[in-house]
Structure 1
Amino acid sequence: MSTRVFNLPDLGEGLTEAALVRWMVSVGDTVSIDQPIAEVETAKSIVELPSPYAGVVVQLHGAEGDALLTGSPVLEVLDERAPEAAEPAVGSPESPGAPPSPDEEREAYRHEERAGSGNVLIGYGTGRGPAKGRRRRARGGIGGGRSGATSTPALVHEAPAPVRISDAPRRTVAVRSPIVRRLARELGVDPHRVRATGSDGAITRADVLRAADAPRADASEGTQQDPVTAGAHTSPLPVARVERFSPLRRVVSETLSRSRAEIPEATVWVDVDLTELWELRPLMAADGERPPSLTAILARYTLLALQQYPILASRLAPTGDAIEIYEGANLGIAVDTSRGLMVPVMRDAHAMSIAELDRELRSLSATARDGRTPPEQLRGSTFTLNNYGGLGVDGSAAIINHPEVAMLGIGRVLERAWVVDGRVQARRIAQLSLVFDHRVCDGGYAAGFLRAVVDLLEHPMRAYPAV
């Protein structure tokens, strides 16, 4: 029998970490291959992790809410297969250049701890680091090494920058998790000054966060201050708490920052009279079904207008000197969720009717709010529709969903005094706003598209039977 370690796999899309939402197994449980063992939250969605091994769970790595790095351990399974049926041992001739076995890792850990190495505390030099960590072969052999240098292993890990350590006397500490080591390094926390609360005497993630939020120690102790808590001394008010970005918020932040930095955007807006459409909408429902949503109707009319103005559903070519114009449109729909803004995509939306758009919208919105949207459904949009009226606001100067070139938004529908044929009437009015990339078209083109949408919305029967 042998212990198999399941490391967090590469989740794709450039994701390097995931938050552990909940365990679906416990120590002592017997698991089978491909059985879901945990739910993790990435910047894209919540997904289930299937076990690549069968056996008895002997250890779970991480508590619910912890961040797991790609390549870091998730759980350990006792493989009860016969030795001859098991895979070649790690580091054996059948697996040249493979990482060290768990026994070798533990021995390396004890050796470095006895030697007082900082790698145990701050790097990945004594274990299998994240899969994305860079590796390099050491120079050696004939003509390969420096004069007088001793031989080195063929494969070594490149250790990250060390955590800032004070000159105070050292005590032996246990920071076994690479996640905790990385967190301590990022926050500038000295592991020697962290009080461990782990059941096995190890420092946990919560211990590091607690140390980072602790008040500054007496300057006479010579402790270097964590920059997060140091900022509290220069802020206008005491810091109540520090909330770090979730994986989703980090991705949103990067995307919006890139959009604002790269795209010279402009905005045009107009008020639209939706009274006729408002009265017609209940009649659009089939027998026994509810009427389509305003978003579905707006989506259909927007897609019709994009057929006349396809540049707004295009993308700028990677070279920056051409436009990629597509056959049809993949429509992104902005959805406000408890995890943050998400934009699931309706592929080939131009070919859908209002009823089909409505069904797809309801399904995508429910899946997004549950955090179950698969990553492939969050990419590939060519135009985004944003109904922020549901948030109780009238207008918005939105940021384009990079790498798209335009976004159409609609505010809340209000009864307002409106002049019709020289008479003041109560009408259903909403504001439409179009944000567009000024590199791909000028204001006249954008205004033409917006007016086309307005004409369809104000005279909904003109598009029949195209809708």
Structure 2
Amino acid sequence: MTAKVFTLPDLGEGLTDAELVRWLVAVGDTVTTDQPIAEVETAKSVVEVPSPYAGTVAALHGGEGDTILVGAPLIEVQEVAVEQAAARPAEPRSAEQGSGSGQVLVGYGTTSHAGRRNRVARSGAATATTTASPRPTAPPRVVPVVSPVVRALARSHGIDLATLRPTRPDGVLTRRDVEAAFATAPVGLPRASAPASAGARPAAAAADAGTDPRTGLTIDATTPFSRLRRTVAETMSRSRAEIPEATVWVDVDATELWEGRRRLARDGRAPSFLSFVSRFALAALARHPELGGRVTPDGHGLVTFEGVNLGFAANTDRGLLVPVVRRADRLSVRELDAELDRLATAAREGTLPPVELAGSTFTINNYGSLGVDGSAAIINHPEVAILGLGRAIERPWVVDGAIAPRRILQLSLVFDHRVTDGGVAAGFLREVADAIESPLGVLADTPGPLAARA
């Protein structure tokens, strides 16, 4: 029998390569169809790549830390004998079947980058092949884990997932299972050793030890940025280098909206504060579409769109991600709330596919959820504006000539000064602020679907 070669598939959004984070199988192991074989990191997320073949692993292409091009060999599998083929769950899928052609990518998430050794990306079309004599082995136990976040947490704690008993009725291990096992383990009890990439100080970093000439301090370690961190750095640097940004802000009395949400909660779950502010911002963008557009590549014009893809900043274990609500302008407050919650949960659990982390045309940064009152955020290039939302806290406020405690928050708008001037930006921000201060008044004065659906 000849080995089937599985090449790295297109992981979505036109990504051309991925960094090999960790092999989940070894040469000689028996794999089943759709079993995760490797964790790879793209500029968007960490992805578990499943095998389209069932059989014995004949070769692995590349080592941990290598960059593998889409379409380059990833793994070779010696398929099971013909008489066993009928037992396979599904026919093998061709390597050309990218994520957009039906291939299932099992799990998106995080892996620890602390102390990962310095790596050199491969520039060739394919990476070196690692082979070994196949060894007889029993079929490995496939631990049912939904997210690589759980595997990364187990590695960081040195816990063998195969020893854990899942609490979920479907038998899937969760973060809570790992944390419970770590919390109840006897002090000093040896745990499964974690790989160096899970937190141990790498040799490459230790070799850099010495005195920093700029600070005079002893260098403890040098840790390379993760691919996601590098992508964020490139985007933020490009934003600051290309966009002449300006910021306007305003303090808003959000008491009426705050109390309105509390009343809604009596009849069930109230939509989040962010979903209301998002709905108000979308309504204001309909009257100021230039703030939801993009500057042309030559910098000489502006492209505006019919509708808004709303990005929002989500704090996760991997860092700050920006999930995208597509055609958010069509959604009511409750629909926005459901979609924001779904995307935020998936981002935190590491199950958000790359396609839902791209394509935004306007972004909201709810830094108030982190306990921050104000911030001048960096525009999410290539967008032209970003709305910031601080925390709503009780402050003394003058109401009808008297000082009273009110829920006050700060809104900020950072905008591209090439696209518009301060008057338009201030007008947009004031519309959002007025809606927060008098939500019923805004809905009463708004014609069309928005008033009926909000």
TM-score w.r.t. length of structure 1? 0.66
When Rg is computed on C-alpha atoms for both structures, the one with the higher figure is 1
Match of residue 69 from structure 1: 68
CA shift for structure 1 position 317: 1.8
Match of residue 18 from structure 2: 17
- The answer (yes or no) to whether the contact 1:212–1:229 under 8 Å persists in 2 is no
- The answer (yes or no) to whether the contact 1:44–1:373 under 8 Å persists in 2 is no
Percent of aligned positions with the same letter in both sequences?
A: 54
CA shift for structure 1 position 283: 2.7
Describe the shift of the 1:213–1:32 C-alpha distance in structure 2 as closer, same or farther (beyond 3 A).
closer
**Partners of 2:238 and 2:121 in 1: how far apart?**
31
- Whether 1:249 aligns to 2:229 is yes
Structure 1 range deviating more: 299-308 or 47-56:
47-56
CA shift for structure 1 position 459: 0.3
Match of residue 396 from structure 1: 375
Counterpart of 2:204, as a letter, is A
CA shift for structure 1 position 286: 7.9
1:354 to 308, 333, 336: 333
CA distances 1:30-55 after superposition (whole Å, capped 9, x unpaired): 33555432333322123231324442
**Partners of 2:408 and 2:284 in 1: how far apart?**
20
2:348 to 356, 361, 369: 369
CA distances 1:272-327 after superposition (whole Å, capped 9, x unpaired): 0001111111233484x311111111101111111111111111122322211111
Q: Which residues of structure 2 form unaligned runs of 5+?
A: 83-119, 131-195, 444-450
- Whether 1:441 aligns to 2:440 is no
Any idea what SS the aligned residue of 1:429 has?
A: strand
- The answer (yes or no) to whether the contact 1:316–1:324 under 8 Å persists in 2 is yes
Match of residue 51 from structure 1: 51
Match of residue 283 from structure 1: 263
Structure number with greater CO (CA < 8 Å, separation at least 6) is 2
- The answer (yes or no) to whether the contact 1:31–1:55 under 8 Å persists in 2 is yes
- Trace 1:260-279 onto structure 2 (pairs within 5 A): 260-279=240-259
- Whether 1:454 aligns to 2:423 is no
Q: Which residues of structure 1 form unaligned runs of 5+?
A: 83-121, 134-174, 178-203, 216-227
**Partners of 2:344 and 2:22 in 1: how far apart?**
21
- The answer (yes or no) to whether the contact 2:309–2:328 under 8 Å persists in 1 is yes
CA shift for structure 1 position 233: 5.1
**Partners of 1:318 and 1:41 in 2: how far apart?**
28
**Partners of 1:305 and 1:419 in 2: how far apart?**
27
**Partners of 2:235 and 2:247 in 1: how far apart?**
19
**Partners of 2:206 and 2:39 in 1: how far apart?**
31
- Trace 1:159-308 onto structure 2 (pairs within 5 A): 210-215=202-207, 232=212, 235-285=215-265, 287=267, 289-308=268-287
- The answer (yes or no) to whether the contact 2:388–2:411 under 8 Å persists in 1 is yes
- The answer (yes or no) to whether the contact 1:2–1:80 under 8 Å persists in 2 is no
Any idea what SS the aligned residue of 2:219 has?
A: coil
Describe the shift of the 1:305–1:68 C-alpha distance in structure 2 as closer, same or farther (beyond 3 A).
same
- The answer (yes or no) to whether the contact 1:301–1:456 under 8 Å persists in 2 is yes
- The answer (yes or no) to whether the contact 2:59–2:75 under 8 Å persists in 1 is yes
- The answer (yes or no) to whether the contact 2:20–2:38 under 8 Å persists in 1 is no
Describe the shift of the 1:15–1:416 C-alpha distance in structure 2 as closer, same or farther (beyond 3 A).
farther
CA shift for structure 1 position 229: 5.3
Counterpart of 1:37, as a letter, is I
CA distances 1:329-379 after superposition (whole Å, capped 9, x unpaired): 110011011101111110110111110000000100011112221111111
**Partners of 1:213 and 1:21 in 2: how far apart?**
19
- Whether 1:343 aligns to 2:322 is yes
**Partners of 2:346 and 2:121 in 1: how far apart?**
39
**Partners of 1:256 and 1:81 in 2: how far apart?**
52
**Partners of 1:433 and 1:80 in 2: how far apart?**
60
